[in-house]
Amino acid sequence: MTDPHATYDEFSLFHENAEEAGLPYDDDPVVRRESVEVAPGRRVSALVWGEGPPELVLVHGGGQNAHTWDTVALALGRPLVAVDLPGHGHSDWPTDSAWLDPASMADDVARVVGRFAPDARAVVGMSLGGATSILLATRHPELVRRLLLVDITPGVNGDKTSDIAAFLSGPETFASFDEILDRTIEFNPTRSVSSLRRGVLHNSVQLPDGTWAWRHQVGRPPVDTGLHVERPDFQTLWDELERIPVPVLLARGSRSPVVDDDDVAEFRRRRPDDRVVVVQDAGHSIQGDRPLELAALIGEFAPPG
């Protein structure tokens, strides 16, 4: 098979996103990749959409990258920043903090937001990015004016992400691009093959020996870092979520196992004045399953200034 990355350009696939979502596409969007040094020799990368001051910050989930928001960004048509979490996408591996620690990630994301979107009207965080955004709002409150959580709460009744964990803990390398794509299709039966292929192109690399690997290594930090691997305990974040002083909106996918009725009840107990919205026919990654509905929700929650 021809190397799918031989002609890969991360900015050349937006027309596919638009076509699949039924969005008009008259011209290529203005998007650039930037990065910020968050520690000596370590940078966090982000996609900056548009030419004006960014109005929104989008933070993806574990094992994803900033391109998970492409269709949402196209639908919004607003200046925004989509961040690659540390150890994801084009961001460097964290070698100076706990692996997958939301607090450390929040501090890193704060450097990016402070540089490119200090006056953003809202932060949108999904899954691990949502946990990170909760701590961004409490540790760096000057950067968060509204918070939209995409299918994530600190949780109340055990681990409900076993399917996601099974996917992310799969083989470290794959013999071919087709093999890594086939595994992705297997675990995402409701998504189109074309959208999954785009996602894998954005989220994989071909190694010198010809095999393929994910850009991330969730749960498996680089062997030379010596970092301790421990899945974060999100339940400790309930108190943090409760004390956020700005409006918080929870968007829940109707088909997602990650946020259930017990989680919603606890969210409402902790945040009685905030809303919960159910996005019909969406799983955990609402931005992939129902991007137009999520874009509309973001626009309603944080309209342009």
Q: Which among 104, 127, 195, 256 is annotated as catalytic?
A: 127
Q: Which among 151, 195, 263, 285 is annotated as catalytic?
A: 151
Task: Give the containing element (helix H, strand E) for 183.
Answer: helix 177-187
Give the C-alpha separation, 201 to 210, whole Å: 15
Give the C-alpha separation, 253 to 128, whole Å: 16
DSSP 3-state assignment of 239? helix
Would the CA dihedral through 124, 286, 274, 131 be positive or negative?
A: negative
Backbone angles phi, psi at 113, to 5 degrees: -65, -45
289 in catalytic set:
no
127 in catalytic set:
yes
Give the C-alpha separation, 124 to 104, whole Å: 18
Give the C-alpha separation, 251 to 130, whole Å: 11
284 in catalytic set:
yes
Instruction: Pull the structure tokens for residue 140.
Output: 């760096």
Q: Which among 263, 284, 285, 289 is annotated as catalytic?
A: 284
What residues are annotated to the active site? 127, 151, 284
